[in-house]
Chains A and B, each alone.
Chain A
Amino acid sequence: MALVAPVSALQDALAAENAAIFGYGVAGAHLTGTGQAAAEQDWTGHSEARDQLVTMIARLGAAPVAARAFYQLPFAVHDAASARDLAAYLEDGVTRAYLGLVAVSDQQLRSFGALAMQGSAERAAFWRGSTQAFPGLQGS
């Protein structure tokens, strides 16, 4: 894979964070107790990551991509089990997006992306109940 432009990779990460924020709102509505608390914590984490990415993109002189009003969910979410599946799905998307940042030439952005991948991979493992060999890559 060739080097990736930093702004483009940051915008992809921001888009994934925006989708995760929307999705956790849906997932949280179908969870209770510790599951709901975990979803709220993750929603807050993604909101903070979104704010950080917006700042980083603006510093590079670009306009951050805006969140959509609505996101098409990958499957129907109607109970706790499907809510947990959605949370894992969202985290997988965030991990893939941050993987793009690891392909830029800027060393700090590479580390930033790789660290963010660890966070989303851990959250995905929590929601899925199992780990993956290659988070963010095909053939996980």
Chain B
Amino acid sequence: MLAASAAALPVLLAASGCRSSDAFTGPDPLAGPPSPAPDVLTLQAVITAERALIRLYQAAIGTSARATVREHGLEALLTQHQSHLTRLRSRLILPAPAPSASASPAATASGTPAAVSIAQLRAAEGASAASLLRRLATVQPALAQLFASIAASDATHAMVLGG
């Protein structure tokens, strides 16, 4: 029968002469989730940066003249960044948050977004490509390849934006 309650477990372990350190040879599962691997932390940082880039494009599209949006193909570039985010998030597998954990606050738009120029977008694309290149050294090969591909895409975006 497997119906022993969690409360009864210490009693059972004590009765059998076991301590939890005897029963589990790996990380203590009662101590909470293990620390994220370095690749996970790097991926989370890249995802955060990609989200910021998407917000920048959304602000640029929302505040620029339609002719400017069309001339630079900003909608298409935004779509490609959204694809980047989807692909990056698919590589991230995290345990469900603990019930007590508070959800991270969602970014809420308040008021009119500040205008974003094409020059700002171009600079952000260049900075993103450079940042991804700096992160190549520390991650596993498959993730490094994804970063390099996204960096190359960002470099082409900077080029079509006049970089």
Which A residues are within 8 Å of any B CB, using their own CB? 1-4, 95, 99, 102-104, 107, 110-111, 113-115, 117-118, 120-122, 124-126, 130-137
B133 proximal to A (CB < 8 A): yes
CA distance A104 to B142 in the complex (A): 10
Q: Which of B73, B129, B141, B151 contacts A103 (CB 8 A)?
A: B141
| Residues of A with C-beta under 8 A to B157 | 131
- SS class, residues of chain B in contact with chain A: helix
**Are A103 and B152 touching (Cβ within 8 A)?**
no
B153 touches A133 (CB 8 A): yes
Known: A2-B141, A107-B137. A117 touches B87 (CB 8 A): no
Query: A133–B151 Cα gap in the complex (Å)?
Result: 10
B84 in the interface (beta carbon within 8 A): yes
Which of B73, B79, B142, B145: most chain A CB closer than 10 A?
A: B145
**Which B residues are CB-close (under 8 A) to A99?**
145, 148-149
Known: A103-B141, A114-B136, A134-B83. 18 other contacts (CB 8 A): A1-B141, A2-B141, A99-B148, A102-B141, A110-B144, A114-B133, A117-B152, A121-B153, A122-B155, A125-B156, A125-B160, A130-B73, A130-B76, A132-B153, A132-B156, A134-B87, A135-B156, A136-B145
From known contacts A2-B141, A103-B141, A114-B136, infer whether A136 and B156 are also in contact, taking CB-CB under 8 Å: no
Is B58 among interface residues, defined by CB-CB distance under 8 A? no
User: B159 at the A/B interface (Cβ < 8 Å)?
Assistant: yes
Name the B residues within 8 Å of A1 (CB-CB).
141-142, 145
Q: Does B150 sit at the interface, judged by CB under 8 A?
A: yes
- Could you tell me the distance between the alpha carbons of A136 and B144 in the complex, rounded to whole angstroms? 13
